[in-house]
Amino acid sequence: MLLKSLATLAASALFAGQAAADSLPEIEIVGNKFFYSNNGSQFYVKGIAYQANTDNVTTGSTINDPLANADACKRDIPYLQKVNTNVIRVYAINTSLDHSECMQSLNDAGIYVIADLSAPDESINRDAPTWTVDLYQRYKDVVDELANYTNVLGFFAGNEVTNNSTNTDASAFVKAAIRDTKSYIKQKGYRNIPVGYSSNDDADTRVPMADYFACGKDSIKADFYGINMYEWCGSSTFQKSGYADRTKDFQNLTIPIFFSEYGCNEVQPRKFTEVEALYGSNMTNVWSGGIVYMYFEEENNYGLVTIDNNEVSTKADYSYYSSEIAKVSPSIANTKSYSSNSSATMSCPASQKYWKAATVLPPTPDSNICGCMSAAASCVVDKDVDEEDYQTLFDYICGEISCDGISGDGSSGTYGSYSFCSAKDQLNFVLNLYYESNGKSKSACDFSGSASVQSGSTKSGCSSILKAIGTAGTGSYSATSVGNSTETKSSDSASGSSISTSTKKNKSSSGSSQKDGKDAATGSSSASSTSGSSSGSKNAAVSNMRVNIFEILFTSILTISVAAGLGFALA
């Protein structure tokens, strides 16, 4: 069914001469459910993934940012409202662009945003995971850009980073990103914005991964958990689809869980008969709704609408989804009467055949530490050496000396004190270590003109840091004081115990993206998400190094034209 006139009809009712609505109430978490902060009623996610591959690209940017295109937002919002959308998921934003107009329009339409913190070229690489200064800065920039919009429901710190049993170590780095993002939000004095994770639905890892991200104390664990779920294809049932089994898998999870993507397209058009089950009594005690993948039609044939010359046409999928979502009426809890299991502490999954992520997490990235080390180095990489050529130097040097100081192992939980530094800083460290281990011979700092000797200097406040970390880069430190910046440094394990940010010699060891490219830590109790128990070479990280506050005041309430046939659905 085509609704070409809908945008024109609704635009005048929604945007012509209308005053802005009051800020949407924040969504808060109690136990394993979402609630409106203003009245305590339960919130179910009725969402749509909203990010096109070709929306807008700024010079030098690979991010197509839907929240920066105000005209497209206003064009699409009536179609989102027509299917009772209260959440959109965006996979990457360009932090250099303005998002206020689109975010205001979404607010006025009663729509919240869950934003991924990563970007296509700035994410944790599942094959060589690191949590670096640069990546942490990216996450902080996104938080700074969106924190003061109350219709930001939360952030995803990763999307399908661990996707099978061969790369579970990457989850330790994602959990460190969750820990540090939550800490940054608190440090900046922002409201308590939830930070979660979006997983794939891998049979071997789905249960231990959920337990891993939900375990530990509040400062470490994910606030919510999403699963990209594509088990219900065509005509199916709660039992036959696997939904019954998945609901049983996560029945004891202590944080909200929802479908961060759903909508299998093996049978087309998609009739979305799973919607009735997802919001029905069999699932709502465990699940908090879901996000349909996706709004825009692209090569993968998952779209609800097509866009041609800025004109929106709805597909059959849109009509079927509209019909199904309109039928649902999930039971609503209230914080006043809701008895949660929020006091329960999830037990972290033990290391086993399919799960090997450590509960000791990587240290918090700190550029001051890297700066102290690089400035003090006597042998450093020449400024004319291209970063693409660093790997040749890493390969040689790390074959001659230990590179534990820059390595990180998410399976064993051992991380060098400089494992979060930039590729240049890390190369300076190992070049200098090689130089010193060879008696500071001039020939040991040449590498065919790629390195040279400098007069290293210890910056103010760096002496105690460098001494604590040690020559090998594997020591521990508890505090830094660099210039005017003083920070207490401690890295929590997933059990919530305080440990030093880098403590042991690293044992030898051998991402997520904007969208997933679909084809046509130990707790004190024994709780787990299921009813049963759930139980060499230098780190590859060295080869993968690429990696104020304004109050928004909304003062008036939106009046929606009845003639436009649009609903202001908050639940």
| DSSP string computed for 349-412 | PPPBTTB---SBPPPPP-HHHHHHHHHH-SEEE-TTS-GGGHHHHHHHHHHHS--GGG-EETTT
List, in order, residues 6 or more apart from 246 with CB less than 8 Å away.
201, 206, 227, 229, 231
Q: d(Cα 169, Cα 83) in Å, to the nearest integer?
A: 39
Q: List beta partners, residue 259.
A: 227, 290
Which region holds residue 124: left if phi is over 0, alpha if psi is between -120 and 50, else beta?
A: beta
Alpha-carbon distance of 24 to 403, in angstroms, equals 50
Q: Provide the Cα torsion 32, 33, 39, 43; round to 10°.
A: 170
Question: C-alpha angle 323/326/331, rounded to 5°?
Answer: 140
Alpha-carbon distance of 388 to 20, in angstroms, equals 50
Query: Residue 420's CB: how many other CB atoms inside 10 A?
Result: 32
Report how far residue 265's alpha carbon sits from residue 262's, in angstroms, rounded to the nearest whole number.
10
Q: Is 26 a catalytic residue?
A: no
Angstrom distance (rounded) from CA 31 to CA 227: 18
Question: What torsion, rounded to 10 degrees, do the Cα atoms 71, 72, 75, 76 define?
Answer: -150
Q: Shortest CA distance to 81 belongs to which of 19, 16, 13? A: 13
Q: What is the rounded distance in angstroms from the CA atom of residue 226 to the CA atom of residue 213?
A: 11
Residue type, 571: A
Task: Give me 209's structure tokens.
Answer: 């991964």
User: Which of the 8 DSSP states describes residue 179?
Assistant: H
Active-site residue, selected from the candidate residues 160, 274, 297, 324: 160
Return all residues near 343 (Cβ < 8 A) that are at least 6 apart: none
Return the sign of the alpha-carbon dihedral for residues 49, 55, 56, 60. Answer: positive
Count Cβ atoms below 10 Å from residue 382 Cβ, excluding itself.
Answer: 11
Q: How far apart are CA 262 and CA 85, in angstroms?
A: 14
Catalytic residue among 26, 122, 145, 261: 261
Catalytic status, residue 276: no
Distance of alpha carbon 378 from alpha carbon 452, whole angstroms: 8
User: What residues are labeled active site?
Assistant: 160, 261
